[in-house]
């Protein structure tokens, strides 16, 4: 069950006040002024762990290990949180059906932060200080992760497999963050490479969400273009957690781009593409994996044909891959009605990554052991899917896959953009 605790109610007044103080101190000085930014990992701000038992073994009892997740379960990004949770639970249920990990059941409690940084702070505090979770897993988003990573680090809580490719999470200074997926820089490099090399496109516009997530993706696009002596020909911006994209669309249309790279959530991205189709604006549309592929295709309907999405996990229905076959079996066992998808597959792989590390720790598991084993495992094999960690490398996968929505509303793999017409005609 997903709890939807919100700040400012009952016992939450004190927490909400703390959020206001932290937000005032750390508000982003960028374009939007909306994000609660994380200080540098070795900064002076810290949050003392709750008093009580040994913090290193918090969340562990004789028969269970409790994990926490603060993610979007409401608002325009809710499908991302729902499906990350779905995949994690499928992996946990799979392990629990086999007796758990070293005799302990794995449990997950999830709180709704609605993809808002200040709410994420309140939910994460609750998970760490009130619910005493062992580790945090499957957070959704860059602005929310930026706001809560200092809290997790100060409390010594592992922060595992956030659903974001933001560069700051991959900085060497972090000793508690483990990333599963490729970065936004890697996704945007692949996009620009395919547009320029395959199609010879030189006029590329960018539409991005006006917060730390959008700016992270935007910087990745700009850097990829600069490596080729290019720059965006048009820029459109929209506010987080809205579908207010009309101004962005008009700003893009003025420069008539041949392609538009989009860094946003599925609802606003779908809205802009659909409106563009109505006004006969027809560039190549590409968007990053964070968009939420299944939700985007559903939102777009017939307007989705030809839209390209980079992915950071394999096709969720490719049962020729043992890891995907295991995911499909686990998903069907957990929820027979659930539709396979890229996001829940990423959640499942996150759960499997944690399980591999816990097994190596043995019965005397604690937070320090988990973090050490996640890195010291080096190469992690999940049913044939390889993740590689190491000294100074807290990111397991560098894989980026290009996909396109076909006229059938389904995703198809793309090796070269010359293949697009056969899926869209």
Domain holding 59: CATH number? Answer: 3.40.50.2300
Q: Which residue, chain included where needed, has tokens 């006969």?
A: 280
393 within some domain: no
Claim to verify: residue 17 and residue 153 sit in the same structural domain: yes
pLDDT digits (tens, 9 = 90+) for 206-227: 999 999 999 999 999 999 999 9
Residue 12 lies in a domain: yes
Q: What is the pTM of this model?
A: 0.86
- Number of domains present in the structure of the chain: 2
| 228 within a domain of the structure (yes/no) | yes
* Predicted pLDDT at 294: 87
pLDDT at 373: 79
Q: What are the residues facing 64 on neighbouring strands?
A: 105
Q: For residues 152 and 262, state if they share a domain.
A: no
Q: Determine the 3-state secondary structure of 413 from DSSP.
A: strand
Residues 286, 202 within the same domain: yes
In the prediction, which pLDDT does 171 show?
92
Supply the mean pLDDT for the chain: 87
Residue 21 has pLDDT above 60, yes or no: no
Q: What is the pLDDT of residue 13?
A: 34
Identify whether residues 20 and 55 lie together within a single domain.
yes
Tell me: the pLDDT tens digits for 261-317? 999 999 999 999 999 999 999 999 999 998 888 889 999 999 999 999 999 999 999
Partners of 191 in the β-ladder: none
Residues 176 and 188 in one domain: no
Q: How many C-beta atoms lie closer than 10 Å to residue 368's C-beta?
A: 14
Closest C-alpha among 404, 192, 187, 425 to residue 293: 404
Same domain? 114 vs 218: no
**Residue 396 included in any domain:** no
Does residue 87 sit in the same domain as residue 171? yes
Same domain for 18 and 104, yes or no, is yes
Report whether pLDDT(236) > 60: yes
Regarding whether 142 and 20 lie in a shared domain, the answer is yes
The pLDDT assigned to 3 comes to: 58
**pLDDT value, residue 419:** 79
In a domain, 111, yes or no: yes
**Does residue 417 lie in a domain region?**
yes
- Regarding whether 291 and 371 lie in a shared domain, the answer is no
172 three-state secondary structure: coil
Q: Would you say residue 316 lies in a domain?
A: no
Instruction: With cut-offs at 50, 70 and 90, classify the pLDDT of residue 418.
Output: confident
**Together in a domain, 48 and 110:** yes
* Domain hosting residue 207, numbered range: 184-311+401-424
- Would you say residue 345 lies in a domain? yes
Q: Please name the residue that has the structure tokens 């030189």.
A: 202
Indicate if 134 and 18 belong to the same structural domain.
yes
The Cα–Cα gap between 8 and 6 comes to: 7
Q: Is residue 52 very low, low, confident or very high in pLDDT (cuts 50, 70, 90)?
A: low
């Amino acid at each position: 069950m997903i709890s939807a605790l919100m700040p400012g109610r009952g016992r939450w007044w004190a927490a909400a006040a703390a959020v206001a103080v932290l937000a005032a101190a750390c508000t982003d000085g960028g374009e939007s002024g909306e994000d609660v930014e994380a200080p540098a990992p070795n900064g002076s701000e810290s949050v003392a762990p709750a008093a009580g038992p040994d913090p290193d073994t918090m969340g562990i009892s004789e028969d269970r290990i409790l994990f926490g997740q603060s993610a979007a379960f409401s608002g325009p990004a809710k499908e991302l949180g729902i499906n990350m949770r779905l995949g994690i639970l499928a992996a946990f249920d799979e392990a629990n059906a086999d007796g758990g990990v070293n005799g302990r059941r794995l449990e997950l409690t999830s709180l709704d932060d609605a993809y808002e940084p200040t709410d994420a702070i309140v939910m994460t505090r609750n998970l760490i200080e009130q619910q005493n979770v062992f580790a945090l897993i499957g957070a959704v988003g860059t602005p929310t992760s930026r706001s809560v990573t200092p809290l997790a680090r100060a409390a010594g809580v592992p922060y595992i497999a956030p659903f974001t490719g933001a560069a700051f999470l991959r900085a060497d200074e972090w000793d508690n963050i483990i990333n599963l997926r490729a970065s936004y820089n890697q996704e945007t490099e692949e996009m620009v490479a395919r547009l320029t090399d395959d199609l010879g496109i030189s006029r590329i516009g960018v539409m991005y969400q006006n917060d730390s997530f959008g700016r992270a993706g935007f910087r990745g696009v700009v850097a990829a273009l600069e490596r080729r002596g290019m720059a965006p020909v048009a820029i459109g911006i929209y506010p987080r957690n809205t579908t207010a994209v009309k101004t962005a669309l008009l700003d893009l249309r003025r420069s008539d781009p041949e392609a538009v790279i989009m860094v946003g959530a599925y609802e606003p991205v779908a809205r802009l593409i659909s409106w563009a189709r109505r006004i006969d604006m027809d560039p190549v549309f590409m968007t990053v994996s964070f968009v939420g592929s299944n939700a985007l295709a559903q939102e777009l309907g017939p307007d989705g044909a030809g839209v390209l999405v980079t992915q950071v996990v394999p096709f969720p229905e490719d049962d020729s891959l043992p890891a995907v076959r295991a995911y499909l079996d686990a998903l069907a066992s957990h929820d027979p009605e659930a539709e396979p998808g890229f996001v829940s597959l990423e959640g499942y792989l996150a759960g499997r990554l944690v399980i591999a590390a816990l097994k190596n720790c043995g019965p005397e598991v604690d937070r320090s052991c988990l973090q050490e084993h996640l890195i010291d495992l080096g190469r992690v094999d999940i049913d044939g899917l390889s993740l590689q960690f190491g000294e100074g490398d807290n990111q397991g996968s560098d894989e980026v896959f290009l996909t396109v929505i076909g006229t059938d509303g389904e995703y198809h793999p793309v090796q070269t953009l010359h293949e697009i017409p056969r899926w869209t005609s």
